[in-house]
Structure 1
């Protein structure tokens, strides 16, 4: 057994090393690494904790197993038992060898961020309640703790810096959203499957921004369809949700992903606004007039609606009562349109009387 600053080197059975929870899922080309180790030897020992949990060297360990090695010299690091230290040591090992994939990096980032936030919270509370006076700087806290509201931003920026070398965390957060959707068993299976597909595309080199945008669109459409099918929702809300979902589906083949996301978000916002409007109107007269904005939203949703339906299918499935409602709505719409057209024509053709001539 030998000793160097910060670690002890000793011989250990390869089968006694516990892998534990690792954030790397793709170990890369192990054959090439095994060939290099067989030719040149193990240039850098594997690092473990005192209880035998692997800290650094997952790829080297896999290569040694492939070569049939039974025993090896390892470094046993002291002071590496806490979870955050292990994560950072693992990432340091990744940086020196094969970089993490975007999805693996996002997983590591999320855990590091949580631990950093917890650590910052703990240090802030220690400073606030006088722990620093009882045991000077025992917790490593700053003399003046950061405001609580800044802890999340601090944790995100620091976690991103530690995992990727950059403070930008937007990409990692977006991947994290997809990972959470894919793992959330309370969500619809269609949504979870879509999130899994998008994560696979990212893992294969696809755009994170595009994947996040497509997922946001799918999430909005799913919510619209849920509201449309919910019998406990008022009829007006169900109708607004149904029309909004149909409009997005109709635009799928002819609209860019960016525009499609905008349409889906706007449709969902209108449906939720309709929910509030419906509740507000329930306590007032049924003849309460809606604002022009509501009228514009309605006709935006109905734009080229006739292209979305099959004449023969509807004709064969509509009941007499439903057809009477269609006829009534059409008659009222035509009468409204004629009156509106007349008022607009009058406003253009009739000259305005000036203030001077009216005196």
Structure 2
């Protein structure tokens, strides 16, 4: 027997492991997995609750049964909530089980996601080093371990499937975002109360998307106020944050939730990158030789570019790539404000027609 925090590794009869109905879908190519395990061994045990209910590893368990394995090592995972244990043990004939509310589903989803991500990372680590000699069965074979960059997406999709029956997790993530704010003792109490109100609205049938958007607006606005009042921040950041706060506050009664959220995000980005824009490398003569037509083509290509990506991109960008994006955004905002000022202050500036630009 071996143990790690929250786990004990034990040998268990394969027939004693109980599998809830939510595990019996989308098992994929079990033959290939069985062949891989037979060749390389089970590099990481499956995970069960203390009473033997399967948590992670339905495909591995099916492959082991196909191979005729009678006993196997399992991770016994302690600290699982009663609600999740009941969900995992749910059977097809349990027709009277309680329908989960959106907030209950999000709570269980977060717990399942954590367990699945934990399991996937252990498999990833195990696959790097391979099975130990003399340990033919010790988590899925190396060829089926998820790449590090896809672990979060894998855990989210699988957790959503277990909890809701579909792979869509955006709504669950948004509710979890609000729940995280409520639980964060480092946040201002007023923000936590607002998040609690939004969760109550969701429980009463309110829109998750609208609640998530309103809360993100409030967080951005609060951060702007904090930056504006922080004497330790550079003057450029404090000035930009103060100006952004004023713009968002003035728009509260005239803009839609979508427009207000975008305004708050843009104001916060502008404030955070104020010093970057100020210190950006000045253009050299060679840099400024591009014709106006090039500018028009560039922005035609970029039209509504933000609609072509979803939230998944956040987990896939490196810090360096994100810094490059922030720097480009800062320079773009600074350029736009300079051009806007020139246009507003100089009514006589010629407005070049579309026709002349196309020549």
Matches within 5 A, 1:279-290: 279=279
1:82 corresponds in structure 2 to 77
Whole-Å separation in 2 of the counterparts to 1:265 and 1:121: 33
Which 5+ residue runs of structure 1 have no aligned equivalent? 8-47, 52-78, 282-289, 301-335, 353-359
Distance 1:98 1:192, change over 3 A: same
- CA positional deviation for 1:254: 1.5
CA deviation string 1:26-68 (max 9, x = no partner): xxxxxxxxxxxxxxxxxxxxxx9669xxxxxxxxxxxxxxxxx
1:197 and 2:240 aligned:
no
Is 1:99 the counterpart of 2:94 in the alignment? no
Q: Deviations over 1:129-188 (max 9, x none)?
A: 122654224334454422121111111110110011010111111111111111111111
Instruction: Indicate yes or no: 2:270 matched with 1:270.
Output: yes
Structure of higher CA gyration radius: 1
Distance 1:103 1:273 in 2: 36
Q: Superposed, which structure 2 residues align to 1:149-160 within 5 Å?
A: 149-160=149-160
Task: Give the match for residue 236 of structure 1.
Answer: 236
3-state DSSP class of the match of 2:273? Answer: helix
Does the C-alpha gap of structure 1 residues 233 and 297 become closer, same or farther in structure 2, counting only changes over 3 Å? farther
Identify if the C-alpha distance between structure 1 residues 224 and 108 changes in structure 2 by more than 3 Å, giving closer, same or farther.
same
Cα distance, 1:184–1:194 mapped onto 2, change above 3 Å: same
- Larger RCO: 1 or 2 (CA < 8 Å, sep 6+): 2
Segments of structure 2 that go 5 or more residues without pairing to the other structure are 1-14, 18-48, 53-73, 282-332
Query: How far apart, in 2, do the equivalents of 1:118 and 1:49 lie?
Result: 17
Give the alignment of 1:242-321 within 5 angstroms: 242-279=242-279, 292-295=335-338
- CA 1:233–1:127: 2 relative to 1, 3 Å: closer
SS of 1:226's partner is: helix
Q: In the TM superposition, what are the counterparts of 1:1-359 in structure 2 within 5 Å?
A: 6=16, 82-83=77-78, 89-92=85-88, 93=90, 96-131=96-131, 133-141=133-141, 143-279=143-279, 292-295=335-338, 337=345, 340-342=346-348, 344=349
Secondary structure at the residue paired with 2:145? coil
1:40-97 residue CA offsets vs partner (Å, 9 max, x unmatched): xxxxxxxx9669xxxxxxxxxxxxxxxxxxxxxxxxxxx9953469765411549851
Question: Could you tell me the TM-score, scaled by structure 1's length?
Answer: 0.56
Separation in structure 2 between the aligned mates of residue 188 and residue 273 of structure 1, nearest angstrom? 24
Q: Report the CA distance between 1:117 and its aligned residue.
A: 1.0
Question: How many Å separate the matches in 1 of 2:201 and 2:242?
Answer: 30
* Contact 1:105 1:164 (C-alpha < 8 Å) held by counterparts: yes
Report if aligned partners of 1:80, 1:86 keep a CA contact under 8 Å in 2.
no
Matched residues, number:
233
Partners of 2:128 and 2:142 within 8 A in 1: no
Partner Cα distance (2:121, 2:268) in 1: 36
Equivalent pair of 2:277/2:334 in contact (CA under 8 Å): no
Cα pair 1:181 1:187 within 8 Å, conserved:
yes
TM-score, structure 2 normalization: 0.56
